[in-house]
Structure 1
Amino acid sequence: MITENLEQVRKNIDEACRMAGRDPKEVTLIAVSKTKPVSMLKEAYDAGARCFGENKVQEIMDKHPQLPEDIQWHMIGHLQRNKVKYIVDKVSMIHSVDSLRLAQTIEQEAAKHNVCVPVLLEVNVAQEESKFGLKMDKVLPLIETIADFPHIKVQGLMTIAPYVENAEDNRDFFRQLKKLSVDIEAKNINNVSMSVLSMGMTGDYQVAVQEGATMVRVGTGIFGERNYVR
């Protein structure tokens, strides 16, 4: 099932790229493996998946030693500052930086491990009270504050769009994030890139790709419905 699902998601990404006049190579598929057992991740790995997204630090710590070293782990969930030290040298990217204090903690812990951590700033484009993330007007000031941190590399933006029945309802949110990234890129801030736009999940990733996503985070579409009974 997982192999077939992965193939279908890739086809859908290719089709969305074709409609938008984009190269499918511009889009990285992140298999969101939260709550899923290692056996399912291995199946996805065998089907070619190399980027996995987790919401919880503990799951990264549990799964990391059990799986091949060439996997790129993405921390996509809300990250508590007291947990940063456990994953700062294990993840290839943190998608959910939403405060100066969190960025400072990542900088401090990365310095201890002598690594430079690629990060994305999480933006609450839809301004949902239930979601984490920066308001649109707070993104640039934070970037300007942390741009010179030597152990952090700001590489772009991330958003979690609202859950909707019709993916078209989220198109405008994706457009707003794309525009924000273009505006920030134009400022040519040292040590800051806007090359990554992490947006779109199982229900709306095709629309996100059409609007410029370079990373899509697909869980249910690959692994099936989540199972929260551990």
Structure 2
Amino acid sequence: MNQIIETILNHRSVRKFEDKLLSREQIETIVKSAQAASTSSFIQAYSIIGITDQSKKAKLAEIAGNQTYVADNGHFFVFCADLHRQVIITEMEGNDVLPSLESTEKFMVTLIDAALAAQNAAIAAESMGLGICYIGGIRNNLEEVQRLLKTPEYVIPLFGMAVGYPAKINDIKPRLPLEHVYMENEYTQDEDIFKKQLEEYNEIISAYYKERTGGSRAETWTAQMGQMLEKKSRMYMKEFVQKQKLNLR
């Protein structure tokens, strides 16, 4: 196993950072690593906004559900789905690109491109000995995030990433068993096998939580997911996305 794979397999979310900012060189290396990710048809349909204004970080922390590590970290990145620069192509080249940009397909491209770039950034940061935590909570109120970051039409802030020097490192959270995720040639649809694998995984996760919390928490993964998914959240998203002129067709 090489060092890159070890870095990937040792990933865990970090939610407590030392009071130490990243250097400009570290920030630029992380962004360049993000840019090196694959991108559909070379569209490069994302942008990354670094938040250095502490008052803005504090506001984003509030929007994200008062997550203190959104404000207290070495650097905070916001990854955006971005087709705004492609709109400019209409002015530069005279092509009618809007019907294409407003399609569901191009919306999916922006999401995939941004996610690929972000994961490259995460691996780069962790390879430097830094910790990261993805922050989906900024989607709690994207209109407010949009005002705060001054994003135009065809741009959607998707998620944040807190990066910094870890002050506390948790154990690695066990993932689903490989055989439950990886299938060959066709999708496995034997529900008895699925349920057996999930029951075995429930035991692993329950033991993990017991160990991590000294016995105060021991729920299973399926119970956790069932309770979480039963709650409706961010149901405004379709309307918000379409107001940005994306996913219209």
TM-score bracket, normalised by the shorter chain, equals under 0.3
Which protein is richer in strand relative to its size?
A: 1
Higher relative contact order (CA 8 A, sep 6+): 2
Which protein is richer in helix relative to its size?
A: 2
Q: How does the TM-score come out when normalised to structure 2?
A: 0.24
Q: How does the TM-score come out when normalised to structure 1?
A: 0.26
Name which one, 1 or 2, has greater alpha-carbon Rg: 2
